[in-house]
C-alpha cells in the first residue's frame, strides 16, 4: 500500500466469521438449579436476554407459542408462588415462583392461571373491585412442584403477539440473570448472525475520521456465507483517538425474529479492549441503555448500534473488561489490527477480524 501523505491511518476493513464452537452455553456443575421446560412444545425464541429494547434491556427470554394463546405453562422447579400481578400494560398477567436455591422464576403475558390460582385471584378481584391486582401469597399457600401446570400462555399486557416471557431472577435483590446459563433447553441456533453496519467515532476534538470530526457509519455487505466487508470496500482514514460500534443481530433456527448478542469483545494488538456480556443486570441499570447505544443514530434511523467503548458515567455492570475505556489511538505509519469477537447469546462464537493497515 502506498505511504500516506497526510497525518492519517488508512484502513481497509475485512469482516468475516470464524465458527469456533457449536456447544450450547451452559454452567452445569456450577449451579444445582436445574430447570424443567416451561412449555411442552419445542422451544423457539423470539427475544433474548439483555437484548436492546426501547429504554431498557430485555430481562428474560421470549418463547414462541406457535402464534396461539392457551399453551400449558409449567413450573420449572420446586417452590412456591410468591407473587401474582395483573395489569393492563407491562407484563399483563404474571406469576412469580420462589425456589429454595435462591432464584425466582417469572412467567408473563399469561392468558390465565391454573384452576386453584384462578379461583384465588378472581375472589380477590371481586373483593377489591379491581381487575388490576398485585398480591404476595404466604409461602405455604401455593406450593408447586417441578413440572406442575401453573398457567396458560397468552398475549396480555404490553405484548405484540402471543408468547411466553420467561425470566430467572436472583431472589434476594430480584436481579435478572440469563436463563440460558441455568438451563439446557436445547434451543436450536445454527443460523449465522447478520452484521448490518459498523461505525467509527472520533473521541475528541482533535480526532478525525475520513477528514471530519463526526461519526462515520459504514454499511456492511455480505461477500460470501458468513463473510462481510464495508460496502464498496472503501478505505477509512483515522487520525487520533477513536471508538467503534457494531450493529449486529442473531437469528435462531425456526424464527425470523432478530435477537441480540450474548457477548461482544473488541481486541487490539492481542489485548482485550472492551467486553460486553449479557449474563445479568439490575433493573435500575436499564437507564444506561441509551449510553450503551449510539442514541443519536437510534433517534434518527432507529438503528441500535452497540458502542464498543464506555461513555462517562455509564456504570453498566455488563461490561467485564475495559482497557482505556475502549478508546484506541491511531498514529501515522503504524499498523493496527483489531479483532471483534462476538459470542452470540446461544451457541456459536463469531469472530470479526478488522485489519487496519497503513
Give the model confidence (pLDDT) of 49-89 as tens digits.
999 988 899 999 999 999 999 999 999 999 999 999 999 99
Calpha distance 351→277 (Å, rounded): 15
Tell me the mean pLDDT in the region 158-178. 95
Indicate the domain borders of the chain: 9-21+189-356, 45-181
Question: What percent of the chain lies above the pLDDT cut of 70?
Answer: 83
Between 89 and 8, name the one with better pLDDT: 89
Tell me the mean pLDDT in the region 119-144. 96
Task: Give the pLDDT confidence of 185-219 residue by residue, as tens digits.
Answer: 877 777 777 778 889 999 999 999 888 999 999 88
Residue 263 has what pLDDT? Answer: 83
Tell me the mean pLDDT in the region 305-333. 90
Please check whether residue 202 is in contact with residue 213, taking contact to mean a CB–CB distance below 8 angstroms.
Answer: yes
Calpha distance 325→250 (Å, rounded): 26
Ranges 18-22, 161-165, 302-306, 328-332: which has the least confidence: 18-22
The answer, yes or no, to whether residue 353 has pLDDT greater than 60, is no
Task: Give the pLDDT confidence of 226-239 residue by residue, as tens digits.
Answer: 677 778 777 778 88
DSSP structure class, residue 280: B
Q: Given pLDDT bands bounded at 50, 70 and 90, which one contains residue 338?
A: low
Residue 123 has what pLDDT? Answer: 96
Looking at every residue in the chain, the average pLDDT score rounds to: 83
Residue 316 has what pLDDT? Answer: 95
CB half-sphere exposure, 209, CA atoms < 13 A: 18
Residue 264 has what pLDDT? Answer: 84
Calpha distance 68→66 (Å, rounded): 5
Between 144 and 263, name the one with better pLDDT: 144
The answer, yes or no, to whether residue 352 has pLDDT greater than 60, is no
For cell 391454573, the residue is: 114
DSSP line for 189-212: --SPPEEEEEEEEE-STT-EETTB
Q: What is the pTM of this model?
A: 0.84
Domain 45-181: which CATH class? mainly beta
Residue 351 has what pLDDT? Answer: 42
For residue 93, list its beta bridge partners: 86, 110
DSSP line for 86-100: E-SSTTSEEEEEEET
The answer, yes or no, to whether residue 288 has pLDDT greater than 50, is yes
Q: Given pLDDT bands bounded at 50, 70 and 90, which one contains residue 221?
A: confident
Q: Given pLDDT bands bounded at 50, 70 and 90, which one contains residue 330?
A: confident
Calpha distance 269→260 (Å, rounded): 27
Sequence-distant (≥ 6) Cβ neighbours of residue 123 within 8 angstroms: none
Calpha distance 137→147 (Å, rounded): 20
Amino acid at each position: 500500500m502506498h505511504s500516506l501523505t497526510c497525518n492519517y491511518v488508512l484502513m481497509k476493513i475485512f469482516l468475516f466469521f470464524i465458527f469456533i464452537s457449536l456447544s450450547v452455553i451452559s454452567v452445569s456443575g456450577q449451579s444445582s438449579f436445574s430447570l424443567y421446560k416451561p412449555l411442552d412444545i419445542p422451544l423457539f425464541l423470539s427475544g433474548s436476554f439483555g437484548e436492546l429494547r426501547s429504554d431498557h434491556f430485555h430481562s428474560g427470554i421470549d418463547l414462541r407459542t406457535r402464534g396461539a394463546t392457551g399453551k400449558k405453562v409449567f413450573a420449572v422447579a420446586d417452590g412456591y408462588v410468591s407473587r401474582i400481578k395483573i395489569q393492563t400494560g407491562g407484563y399483563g398477567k404474571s406469576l412469580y415462583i420462589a425456589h429454595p436455591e435462591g432464584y425466582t422464576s417469572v412467567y408473563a403475558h399469561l392468558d390465565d392461571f391454573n384452576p386453584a390460582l384462578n379461583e384465588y385471584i378472581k375472589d380477590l378481584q371481586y373483593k377489591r373491585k379491581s381487575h388490576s391486582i398485585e398480591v404476595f401469597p404466604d409461602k405455604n399457600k401455593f406450593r408447586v412442584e417441578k413440572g406442575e401446570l401453573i398457567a396458560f400462555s397468552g398475549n396480555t399486557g404490553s405484548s405484540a403477539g402471543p408468547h411466553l416471557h420467561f425470566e430467572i431472577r436472583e431472589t434476594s435483590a430480584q436481579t435478572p440473570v440469563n436463563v440460558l446459563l441455568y438451563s439446557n433447553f436445547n434451543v436450536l441456533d445454527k443460523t449465522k448472525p447478520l452484521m448490518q453496519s459498523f461505525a467509527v467515532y472520533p473521541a475528541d476534538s482533535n480526532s478525525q475520521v475520513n477528514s471530519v470530526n463526526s461519526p462515520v457509519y459504514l454499511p456492511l455487505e455480505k461477500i460470501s456465507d458468513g463473510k462481510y466487508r464495508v460496502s464498496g470496500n472503501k478505505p477509512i482514514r483515522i487520525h487520533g483517538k477513536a471508538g467503534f460500534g457494531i450493529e449486529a443481530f442473531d437469528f435462531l433456527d425456526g424464527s425470523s425474529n432478530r435477537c441480540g448478542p450474548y457477548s461482544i469483545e473488541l481486541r487490539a494488538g492481542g489485548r482485550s479492549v472492551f467486553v460486553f456480556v449479557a449474563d445479568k443486570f439490575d433493573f435500575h441499570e436499564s437507564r444506561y441503555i441509551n449510553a450503551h447505544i449510539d442514541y443519536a443514530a437510534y433517534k434518527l434511523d432507529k438503528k441500535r448500534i452497540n458502542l464498543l467503548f464506555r461513555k462517562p458515567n455509564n456504570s453498566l455492570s455488563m461490561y467485564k473488561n475495559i482497557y482505556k475505556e475502549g478508546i484506541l489511538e491511531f498514529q501515522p505509519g503504524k499498523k493496527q489490527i483489531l479483532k471483534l469477537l462476538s459470542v452470540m447469546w446461544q451457541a456459536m462464537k463469531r469472530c470479526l477480524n478488522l485489519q487496519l493497515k497503513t
